[in-house]
Structure 1
Amino acid sequence: MLRRPTSLHGSRSALSVVSLLPPACAGRAVRLSCRTAMRTLLLVLFAALPLAAQLTEDQIRAGSADNWVTYGGDYASWRHSPLTQINTGNVHKLVPAWVRQIPDANRLETTPLVYEGVMYVTNTNEVYALDARNGKVIWHFAADWVKRQSQNRGVALWGDRVYFITSDCHLVALNRFNGAVIWDKEFASWEKEGYWSSLAPLAVKGKILVGTAGGGSGQRGFVAALSADTGEEVWRFWTVPAEGDPGSETWGGFPAKWSGAPTWTTGSYDSQLNTIYWPTGNPWPDFYGGRRRGDNLYSDSVVALDADTGKLKWHFQFTPHDEWDWDANETMVLVDREFKGQMRKLLYHADRNGFYYVLDRETGKFLMGRPFINELNWASGLDEVSGRPLEIPDKRPTAGGNRICPSVRGASNWMSPSYHPETGLFYVVTLEKCDIYTSSAQEPVPSTGFRGTGGEQVPAEPGTFYLRALQPNTGELAWEYEMPGPAVMWAGTVSTMGGLIFSGDDDGHLVALDAKTGKDLWHFQMGTDIYASPITYAVDGKQYVMIATATDLFAFALFEEAGR
C-alpha cells in the first residue's frame, strides 16, 4: 500500500519527520518506533485521498481538464484550461476556498502542479505536497543542506516521481507519494563554478531537462537531459559554442567559459517533431560588449534541439550582440494554425526586447514580427526576411547614460503568457517603461557580479503594466487592460474555456478578465506581492483557481461550491 509521510527534511542521506507526529518523533534522527507511527498515521490520511496513477507522456502532451501536469500546462505551453465551471457569468462569485502560508517564504514564484487531487508546490530548496481540495500538507521535503538561496519556479512530474532543482544545481528525484529521496544528482557546480538554478524542469521521453542561471556572472549556459530513472546525464547542449565549433566566430575570441547565455526558463516540446524549444539568456558582461565582438550565438535565442540527442536543429536569435540584458526568456508558445492561407507549425514569442515574433517551428524561418509596446526606440523594426532588428544608431548603453526603451526588465519577462484556442488570442503581461542605460569598458572579471553597469529608472517615469491580447499571426492589439500599481511586481496569465483570463496586478489583486474583450469581471485583494502565474484545476467536480503570492498560496472556488 502507498504511504505519504507528512514531512521530510535533512541532509542528502538523512530524513526526519517534523509534523503530524508525536513530539518525540521530531528532530534529525528518526527512530524505528517513530517511523512505525508515521506509517500508521499516514496510511489513515492517505486513505482519504484519491489514488494516484503514474503520469505518462501522453497525459502531459494531451493536457487534462482537471490536472495541471507541467509548467506550461502542456508541452505547447498554452497555459490554457478547458474547464468551464467558473465562467464569465459566475466569476463574480469566486471566494477563497483555502489559503496556505509557506513558512520562510518571501517571494514565491512557483507554478504549482496538480495531479489526481495532489498539488506540488515549491519554495526555495523545498517541495510541498498538498491536498488540492483544502491545502493541507501531505508531505514536505526540504533540502536544508543547500547554501545557495534563490527562488524556485516549480517541479516536474513523471511516472510516480517528483523532480525539482535545488539552488545549487542538484536535480532531486522524490517519491511522489511520500517525498522520499530516490536519487540526487549534481549537474553543475555552485561552489566551484558559480552556477545556480531556479527553473522548473521539463519531463520529456523518460528524460528530465534542466538549465542554469548565473549568466550575470559569466557562467556558460547549457541545456542538459538527465535520465528520469537514474539521474545520469544523457546529453548536454552548450548555448555558447566551444572554440572552433560553428558559431564560435560570433564571439570575437571571447572565452566560451565565461560568456553567459544561461537557460533559466523552462522550454516547450513538440512530440511530433521530436523537438525541444528552449529560450536562452543574455551574453556576459550584460551591458558591455566591447570584448565579445559579434552576434554572440546562441545568446538571446530560441534553440530547437533533438529530444533524443540534444543536437541543434535550428536557432533564431532575437537580439544579436545584446548589451541591454534582454534575455529571450519569455515562454515559447507552440500552435498549429493557418498562416497566410497555409497550415503551419508556428512558434509565438513576445520577446523582452519589445518585438513580437512568429516563426515556423519546423525550420526556424522568420514569418512575422512587430513591436508589442508603444515606446520602442532602439530599433526601427525587423528585417522582413531575416527578422534581424534594424538598430537605431546611438541606442546602446553609454558611459554617461542613454535613455532606451524598453527597460532592463524588458517589455516582457519570464512570467508566462497564454493562448486561448477559442478566441484565438495570445495574452501577455507587458511593461511600458524606459531606463537610463550605462556601460563601462572595465575589464570583465567572472564570478564577481560585474555586469558592465546597467539600467536605472528614468525620473518621473515609473512605468505601467498592461495585460495585452494580441492577434497571434499579426501581433496587432485586440485589447489591453491597464493594471494599477507602481510597476514593481509581475505576474503571468492563465486562460480558460470559461471565457476568462486570470492574472495578478501590481496592487496585489488576482484579476479575472473577459478573454474576448478584456473587461474586468472580478478581482480579489490578497494583501501581498505577486510574482507568479495562476493555474486552474478541478478535484471532485469542483474547479479552483490558484496563485502563489509572495508568502502564501490562495485557491478560489465559486461561493455555492465552496460553501457546501
Structure 2
Amino acid sequence: MREIRHLLLLACTLASAACQQPASHQSGAGDDWPSPGGDAGKSHFSRLQEIAPDNVARIGLAWSADLPGQRGMEATPVVVDGVLYVSGQAGYVGAFDAASGKPLWEFTPEIRPEAYRTACCDTVNRGVALADGVVYVAALDGILYALDAGSGEVLWQADTIEQGAGGLVSTGAPEVAGDVVVIGNSGAEYGTRGYVSAYDRKSGDLRWRFHVVPRDPALGPQDHPDLEAALATWPKDTLWDMGGGGAPWDAIAYDSETGLVLVGTGNGGPYYRAARSPGGGDNLYLSSIVALDPETGRVAWHYQEVPGDSWDYTATQPMVLADLDIDGETTPVIIHAPKNGFLYLIDRRSGRLLDAHRLVRTNWADSIDIETGRPNLTPASSDYSQGPKIVFPATVGARNWQAGAFDPDSGIYFAPVVDMGNLMIAQPGPYEHRDRALNLFASVLFTAELENILPGLPPAAREEVEKLPEMDEVRKAPWISELRAIDVVTGQTVWSQPMEGWQDRGGVLATASGLVVQGNLAGALRFFDAGSGKLLRAVQTGRSIMAAPMTYSVDGVQYIALTTGWGGGGWPYVPAYSAAYRYGNANKLLVFRLDGKPVPMPEPLPPLEVTPDVGPRESWETPAAIAQGEGLFMANCGICHANHPRSTAPDLTRLMPGVQNAFSAIVSGGLLETRGMPAWGDLLSEDEVRAIQAYLRDLQRRNRQRDLQLQAEGLPLDRQSTGMTLAK
C-alpha cells in the first residue's frame, strides 16, 4: 500500500499541483496567515495561487520596512484582516498595513540586562500569537506581553521566569490553546530546569506550569504529579543542582482535534548523560514530544525521541500536524524532523510511533524500532564519556528551528537538511555548577571545521582523533547542506537543491500553485518548482535570509513577506559567503508582489583596515596570564565574540585605548549593559578579567602583524572564521 501511494504522490507532484487527495486532507492558509506556521497545522503551506511558476519573473518589491537591530531575524510575520504583525529583536513587535506598508504601531520591551548573558543563540524571537484582537509576544527576558492588536497598548504582562531559575530566556512564539496562552523557554546549557507555562488569555494569571525534568527528590514531592513517574528515569546520583535542562525553546502546537497542547522539549544539561546522571536512565522528559491538557497541564501522552540524550538532540524543531493516508486509513499525525537525523510520523491521538526514516548520517543510533519506538543506540560510536568521538548528526541538527513546509495535496515535505557531525570531547570531573553560565562540560567541534581545528589540538588528542573510524567519512564529506523535497510516508527524497554552506538553511514556504520559496544567507529569495525542484527565479536582496517566508492576499493581490538578518546559534561567526558579510546586517522586512519594483541593494561594507596598534606590552601580560585568559575567553566569551571585524558582535581584538582603559568597568561592572553587554563581575574575578584582556591584547598584536604582512603583499585583510566552539 505504501509503495503504491508513493508512486501516486510522486506522479501528482511531478504532474500538477491540481492533483489532490480527498477533502479531509486539506489544510493551508488562505488570504490571512494567522500564525507563524500559517494554518492550525503549522504547515507553512498556502492555498493562494496568483503567484505561480509561470509568472515568478514578474516578482518585485511591493514595500519594505526597517526593523530595529543588527542581529538574527527568525520570525515569520502574521497577517489578519489586512494588518501585518512582525516580531524582531528581543521581542520587538511592529504592525503595518499589509497592502501599503504604512506603519501602524510598534512595541519595544525593556529587557533585563542579565538576559543577554544567557541568550546562547542570539537575541532572536520566532513570532507572535494572535487571537481575538490580542497579540501575544514573549520578550527575551521572559516577560510575556498581551498587546492590543489595534494600538499596541500593553493589556497585561507576566514574568514567566521562576525565582532562582538561573539562565532562562524566551525566544519562541507563544501558542494560544483555548483560553490559555502557552510559552516555553530556552537555556538548558546554563544549569536550568526547563518548563512550559500556561497563562489565562484575559487576565495573564498563571494557570499551570509543567517542568520537563523532575526536581531533586530531597526537596520533597514533585511539583507536578506526572513527574513522579519520570523520577524513576533519573538515578539517585543525578547532579540535581545542574537543573537537568529540557528547556522547550520553540515547538509548541495546539491540536484542536484532540484538544491537546503538543510541546517539543530540549536537550539535557549538561550535555552528556555520564556527567548529568552517571547511573544512566532515560531522563524523561528530555528530547520528547509531550502532549498536555491545556486546562490542567496534565500529561496525556509522551514520546521520547532521544532517551538519555547526550548530544544536544532537542525535540524543539517545528512540528506539522496533518492527516495522512497510512495503510489505507486516514490518520492524524505529527510530522517531526528534529535535530537527531530522523523524520518521525507520530499518531497525535496517542503518541504511538507510526514510522521513522533516517535523513542523514546518524551514528548515535542506526535505526528506530517501530514496535517499541526506541532508537537502536550505537554506544561504541557515540559514547564520548571515555574519549573523543565523532558523532553524526551535529548539535546544530539535521533540522533545526528553520521551518519546513508540508503540501497536504502531494504529501511532500520541503525543508532544509544539513548532514554534518561533531567532534565531541568530554571534560573530566569533578563538575561544579556555575549559575547563569555555560555548564556543558564538553567541547563541541563541527566536522565542517575539523581540518582547520585539528592542528590546534594537543598532539596526543590530535592523534586520538585521527584514529577515529569516522575521519574517513568526514574527509569525504565534512558537510552536506540541501533543500529537500521528502515524501513523508516513505522518507524518500523526491528532489534536492544544494545550499551555500552548512550555516545556510533558510525556512520554507510552499503554495498550492506549485511553488517552493526559500531565502538564503547569500541574500537570494529563491523560487522553485515544487514538482521538479527546478530553480525558477532568484531575487537578490542584499540581505541574509534565515526565516521562512509567508504569503497573504489583500483585495485580491497576493504578497510574499519575509524578515532578513543573519544570526541565531553561532551568530557572531558571519559566513564569508553571506550578504551580511558583504553588506552588513541591518534588519529589514521585505514584501513582494507581482509587478513590484526592483529591490534596492545596500552599499557594500568598506574594505577592512589594519588592526589598530594596541601599544607596548604591560607587565601583567605574562605568558601565564595570556594562557589563562585564552581558556577563560573560550569558556565564557567566545560564544558571542568571534573577534573578526565582520562579526555581529564587537571585535575585541580591535579595541582603541579608551576601551582598553575601561575594559574592567565594561566586563566586571556592566558599563555597557544598556547595549546588551551584561556584567560578569559575579562570575569572573578581577584577576580573571585582566587575564582575558591580556589574551585579547596579545591576539590583537598578532593580528596587526598579520595584517601588515598581508598589506605588504597586496592581499585582502580577511581572517574570517566560520567555526564555532562551545567549551567548558
- Report the TM-score range of the alignment, normalised by the length of the smaller protein: 0.7 to 0.9
- 1:101 positional shift: 1.8
1:389 maps to what in 2?
375
Task: Provide the rounded CA distance (Å) in 1 between the counterparts of 2:292 and 2:527.
Answer: 36
TM-superposition CA deviations, 1:473-518 (whole Å, max 9, x none): 12122111112x2322332111111111111224221111111121
1:490 aligns with 2:456: no
2:62 and 2:596 in contact (8 A); partners too: no
Matched, 1:178 2:178: no
1:206 to 159, 173, 179: 179
Q: 2:48: which partner in 1?
A: 83
Q: Is the 8 A contact 1:543 1:557 kept in 2?
A: yes
Shift of 1:399: 6.3
Alignment of 1:461-540 (within 5 A): 463-483=479-499, 485-540=500-555
After the TM superposition, which of the residue ranges 278-287 and 455-464 deviates more from structure 2?
A: 455-464
| 3-state SS of 2:274 partner | coil
- What is the RMSD of the two structures over their aligned residues, measured on CA atoms? 2.1
Indicate conservation of the 8 Å contact 1:287/1:454, yes or no.
Answer: no
Structure 1 contact 91–512 (Cα < 8 Å) conserved: yes
Alignment of 1:152-167 (within 5 A): 152-167=125-140
SS of the residue 1:249 aligns to: helix
1:65 and 1:207, CA in 2 relative to 1: closer, same or farther beyond 3 A? same
Output the CA distance in 2 between the equivalents of 1:448 and 1:553.
33
1: CA distance, partners of 2:446 / 2:244: 27
Are the counterparts in 1 of residues 135 and 146 from structure 2 also a CA contact under 8 Å?
Answer: yes
Whether the aligned pair in 2 keeps the contact of 1:350 and 1:428 (CA below 8 Å) is no
Equivalent position of 1:450 in the other structure: 439
Match of 1:262 among 244, 247, 250: 247
Deviations 1:207-238 (CA, angstroms, capped at 9, x unpaired)? 11110111111211112110110000112222
| Aligned CA distance change for structure 1 residues 209 and 291 (closer, same or farther; 3 Å) | closer
**Aligned residue number for residue 23 of structure 1:** none
Cα distance in 2, alignment partners of residues 348 and 381 from structure 1: 17
Count of aligned pairs between the two proteins: 501
Deviation readout 1:172-225 (Å, 9 max, x if unpaired) = 111111111111111214876322110110112121111011111121111211
C-alpha distance in 2 between matches for 1:560 and 1:176: 28
1:349-388 matched pairs, under 5 angstroms: 349-373=336-360, 375-388=361-374
- Contact kept, 8 Å, 1:288 with 1:452, in 2: the verdict is no
**CA spacing shift, 1:400–1:64, aligned 2, 3 Å:** closer
1:279 maps to which residue? 264
Deviation at 1:417, TM superposition (A): 1.3
**Structure 1 residues 328 and 408, CA, compared in 2 at 3 Å: closer, same or farther?**
same
The CA deviation at 1:250 is: 1.2
Tell me the residue number matched to 1:125. Answer: 91
Contact 1:493-1:533 at 8 Å conserved across structures: yes
C-alpha change, 1:510 and 1:277, in structure 2 (3 Å) is: same
Q: Which amino acid aligns with 2:133?
A: D
Corresponding residue for residue 106 of structure 1 = 71
Percent identity over paired residues: 32
Distance 2:276 2:294 in 1: 34
Q: Is the aligned partner of 1:315 residue 2:302?
A: yes
> Does the residue aligned with 2:214 lie in a helix, a strand or coil?
coil
How many Å apart are 1:127 and its aligned residue? 0.9
Instruction: Note if contact 1:125-1:144 (Cα within 8 Å) is conserved in structure 2.
Output: no
Q: Using the alignment, how far apart are the partners of 2:164 and 2:255 within structure 1?
A: 35
3-state DSSP class of the match of 1:246? Answer: helix
Moved more, 277-286 or 468-477: 468-477
Q: Distance in 1 between matches of 2:479 and 2:182?
A: 35
Task: Answer whether contact 2:142 2:169 (CA < 8 A) is retained.
Answer: yes
1:552 is the counterpart of 2:588: yes
Counterpart CA distance in 1 for 2:70 and 2:97 is 19
- Residues 392/528 of structure 1: CA separation in 2 closer, same or farther (3 Å cut): same
Structure 2 residue identity aligned to 1:531: M
Amino acid across the alignment from 1:201: P
When residues 462 and 100 of structure 1 are mapped into structure 2, their CA distance, relative to the original with a 3 A threshold, is: farther
How far 1:444 moved relative to its partner? 4.3
Taking a change above 3 Å as real, the CA distance of residues 190 and 436 of structure 1, as seen in their structure-2 partners, is farther
- The 1-side partners of 2:419 and 2:545 are apart by 18
Indicate the residue corresponding to 1:144 in structure 2. 110
Indicate conservation of the 8 Å contact 1:487/1:506, yes or no.
no
| Aligned residue type for 1:129 | A
d(CA) in 2 for partners of 1:428, 1:289: 33
Is the CA contact 1:241–1:256 (under 8 Å) kept in the aligned structure 2?
Answer: no
Q: How does 1:48-63 map to 2 (within 5 A)?
A: none
Correspondence for 2:204: 231
- Counterparts in 2 of 1:511 and 1:191: CA distance versus 1, 3 Å: farther
Alignment CA distance shift 1:97-1:312 (3 Å): same
Give the match for residue 323 of structure 2: 336
Partner of 1:251: 234
- Residue 171 to residue 544, structure 1, CA distance change in 2 (3 Å): same
- The code of the aligned residue for 2:444 comes to G
Equivalent in 126, 135, 138 of residue 101 of structure 2: 135
Cα deviation, residue 560, structure 1: 6.6
State the distance in 2 between where 1:455 and 1:490 align.
20
Corresponding position of 2:698: none
> Could you list the runs of 5+ residues in structure 2 that have no partner in the other structure?
1-25, 117-122, 222-227, 452-476, 566-586, 600-728
AA of the residue aligned to 2:95 = A
User: Equivalents in 1 of 2:329, 2:410: separation in Å?
Assistant: 20
The offset of 1:562, in angstroms, is: 9.9
Give CA deviations for 1:340-396 in whole Å, capped at 9, x if unaligned.
1222111111121101111111111111112012x2222221113112111123223
2:406 aligns with 419
Counterpart CA distance in 2 for 1:526 and 1:398 is: 46
AA at the equivalent of 1:451: L
Which residue of 284, 287, 295 corresponds with 1:297? 284
Q: Tell me which amino acid in the other structure corresponds to 2:445.
A: E
Question: Given residue 474 of structure 1, which amino acid in structure 2 is its aligned partner?
Answer: T
Deviates more, 1:400-409 or 1:348-357: 400-409
State the 1:140 CA deviation: 1.0
Q: What TM-score results when the alignment is normalised by the length of structure 2? A: 0.66
Give the number of the structure whose alpha-carbon radius of gyration is greater: 2
Instruction: Tell me the SS of whatever aligns to 2:57.
Output: helix
User: 2:379, 2:69 → 1: CA distance?
Assistant: 47
- In terms of fraction of residues, the more strand-rich structure is 1
